[in-house]
Amino acid sequence: MMLDVAVAEVLDNWVTATLKRDAGAFADLFLRGEPHPIAVWSTGETSVGWTAIRDHAARDFSRGDLGITKVEIFDETQVTLADDAVNVVFRYEMVVRDVWGTETLLQRHATFGLKRMPYGVYRIATAHFSPA
């Protein structure tokens, strides 16, 4: 299924922010203010609000023992909920490298609830990350 161009842009920007380990760019993909965005991480932790999401991402990205070398998205499915709301579900693989250089392939699923902003781009309202 072809993704809406604006939806594909969110996913591309998510991959880029993740690879760069840029918590600010990662958080900027989410809504700010009301309603507060919600993220459920693969650890089961929940973050509510833009600042909490940024802080969680910063903590994860600052881990010196883990390097992210590749993120690839597969099996994207988009469902339009309303004129300004879309759900996108996808599978992704992330290659991480530990301090000894050993690479590990992590397989994950994610769901984003996206809200179209008045200026045409989507922001993440809800995100759920889980192990495959």
Q: Considering the chain, what is the average pLDDT of its residues? A: 93
Q: Among residues 88, 128, 127, 132, which one has the least CA distance to residue 106?
A: 132
Please tell us whether the domain made up of 5-131 is placed in CATH 2.60.40.10: no
What are residue 96's DSSP bridge partners? 68, 104
Q: Among residues 67, 114, 113, 112, which one has the least CA distance to residue 94?
A: 67
One-letter amino acid at 16 equals T
What's the pLDDT tens digit per position in 25-57? 999 999 998 889 999 999 999 999 999 999 999
Residue extents of the structural domains in the chain: 5-131
The confidence score (pLDDT) of residue 33 equals 84
pTM of the predicted protein model: 0.92
Pick the more confident residue, 64 or 88. 88
If you count DSSP H runs as helices and E runs as strands, how many of each does the chain have, helices first? 3, 6
